[in-house]
Chains A and B, each alone.
Chain A
Amino acid sequence: MTLPEFTLLRPRNLPEAIDSLDRHRGDIQVIAGGTDLVPSLKQRLFAPRYLLDLKPIRDLRGIRNGHGLTIGAMTTVGAIADSPLVAEKFPVLAAAAAAIASPVLRTTGTLGGNLCLDTRCLWYNQSPFWRASCGFCLKKDGKVCHVAPGGEKCWAVFSGDTAPALLALGAEIEIASPRASRRLPLADFYTGDGMARIKLAGDEILTRVHLPESSAGLRGAYFKYRLRGSIDYPLAGVAVALDLAPDGTCRRGALAVTALNPKPQLIPGAEAALRGSRLSDDLLDRLAELTNRAIKPLSTSASTPDYRRHIARVFVRRAVRQAWQA
């Protein structure tokens, strides 16, 4: 498969990158590791005139230990999965990063790319021929969402693994823009719309992820459902982070999911349910039920909505139990 024609811009620093984005607005796309973008370009889901390669910008790479951790957006997910520092301070993030795709993709894919991942759908991630034969879809070139034909909304699913782990840890992200750079909680980054999935303007770049010191040392677990265990995006993902008192009572905890909605999200009510609780079947049932209410898996993948709903509840129980007993 050939790639569409484009001009590749290789900025030496961030101001130069922002300047290019500003200049070619509407006709330019950022490429980080390219593990998601390149196949999508081959499928002609995008055909920008310019691609902006972030690889030459050295500052965007690396894990810095300070008050909490700061991870550059161009750090590969493999480097995060293999980092002893991340494993020690933020085990849920290490587990989520290690679950991404396969080793030969983790050497290339980046944290920033994983957070900005395009939403995925059975009707969207296909060749032009396949999509044309179905009359295209709402997300690309068509008018109807084949998943929910009666509605106006695109239900393509956010399928990054690191986002739920970072949400459970209360991470913040830093965004560079021609205006002032801004910092916001990761939870505020996602829209819930399968089309305009993230709040990132055309002239902005996600540059860093900040993990708060207050979340360092939280116990964690990440469970992921996918068709092929060795590669693949999640079809359901559950992350949990817990702070336990010496007597085993939960002082603080958070539960987040991915690949079940157009955005990754914290489960509302889970934090309150966990605070002050001890591990019990009742608690696990309650968390599973809260999750059940927050998710809306539809027929966006080769798996069924029913099974993804079922496995999400199972994974909530397993992940919380594993983190608790770790």
Chain B
Amino acid sequence: MRKELVDLSINGRRHELAVEPNRTLLDVLREDLRLTGTKCGCDDSSCGACTVVVDGQPMLSCLLLAVSYQDSQIQTIESLATQGELGALQRGFVQEGGSQCGFCTPGMVMSLHTLLESTADPTEEEVRAAISGNICRCTGYMQICRAVRHAVAEIREEEIREKERLHA
């Protein structure tokens, strides 16, 4: 099959690569770019493990044809840590035991990341709705919901400290 030269924007970086049209974004992320944070669970859109953020919206990368998403900004789990330090949401998962076997975690985090981008302090119901397409077989979800609370509190404290620094 003929490969196509594509130009994908992933985590703020442009990647030029040759890709067959029948390959999913998930395949390209994991196999060509070695961004293996995104997981392949069911590979048929039932589990949410492969969730990435495309133009600000959570989507299942096992469903997307990579060549079709050249005009989009794609964000994967690898984008959330800065200089090796985990983001607030990821720290929440660690602190609250939101990640056990860890396979659903990148997808969970990306779904919740988009929620927190639009809703700074989501209700329990909003948190549950946001991850309703992400299946976890270990945690029972409670720890994941608590991880979000943890992250929200941490982000708020950080904002307060930032304000105080500006006043000082």
Contact = CB atoms under 8 A, between A and B. Distances in A.
Nearest to B4: A8
B72 to A, nearest CB: 10
Nearest to B63: A38
Given A3-B22, A5-B1, A53-B65, A103 B44 contact: no
B120 to A, nearest CB: 18
Contacts of B4: 8
Nearest to B129: A103
A103 B130 contact: yes
Interface string A1-23: 11111111010000000000000
A102 B133 contact: yes
B132 A102 contact: yes
A105 B20 CA distance: 24
Contacts of A38: 24, 45, 62-63, 65
Interface in A91-131: 101-105, 107-108
A108 B50 CA distance: 14
Interface stretch (B53-61, B90-98, B146-154): B53-61
A42 interface: yes
Interface string B44-84: 11101001001001111011110110000000000000000
Given A35-B45, A103-B58, A5 B22 contact: yes
A101 B65 contact: no
A8 B70 CA distance: 13
Interface residue tally of chain A, by bracket? Answer: 20 to 34
A279 B129 CA distance: 33
A234 B59 CA distance: 21
B64 A1 contact: no
A39 interface: yes
A103 B63 contact: no
A231 interface: yes
B134 interface: yes
Contact of A104 (B51, B65, B68): B51
A104 B44 CA distance: 13
B105 interface: no
Contact of B133 (A5, A39, A105): A105
A34 interface: yes
B15 to A, nearest CB: 19
Given A104-B51, A108-B63, A231 B46 contact: yes
Contacts of B132: 102-103, 229-231
Contact of A103 (B21, B23, B64, B133): B133
Contacts of A31: 65
Range, interface on chain B: 20 to 34
Nearest to B52: A104
A4 B1 CA distance: 10
B111 interface: yes
B165 interface: no
Contacts of B137: none
A102 B48 contact: yes
A4 B23 CA distance: 9
Given A55-B68, A231-B132, A104 B60 contact: yes
A105 B45 contact: yes
Contact of B23 (A3, A35, A55, A105): A3
A53 B133 contact: no
Given A2-B22, A101-B133, A108-B63, A39 B44 contact: yes
Contact of A6 (B22, B51, B62): B22
B68 A8 contact: yes
A55 B111 CA distance: 23
Interface in A22-42: 31, 33-35, 38-39, 42
B24 A104 contact: no
Contacts of A229: 132
A104 B46 contact: no
Interface in B106-154: 111, 129-130, 132-134
B13 to A, nearest CB: 23
The 8 A-B residue pairs with the shortest CB-CB distance, nearest first, are A102-B133, A230-B132, A8-B21, A3-B22, A104-B133, A107-B57, A39-B44, A5-B1
12 contacts: A4-B22, A10-B68, A42-B43, A42-B44, A78-B57, A102-B134, A103-B58, A103-B129, A104-B134, A105-B60, A107-B57, A231-B46
Given A34-B64, A53-B68, A103-B130, 16 more contacts: A1-B43, A1-B44, A7-B21, A34-B63, A35-B45, A35-B60, A38-B45, A38-B63, A42-B43, A51-B65, A55-B68, A102-B134, A103-B132, A103-B133, A104-B59, A104-B133
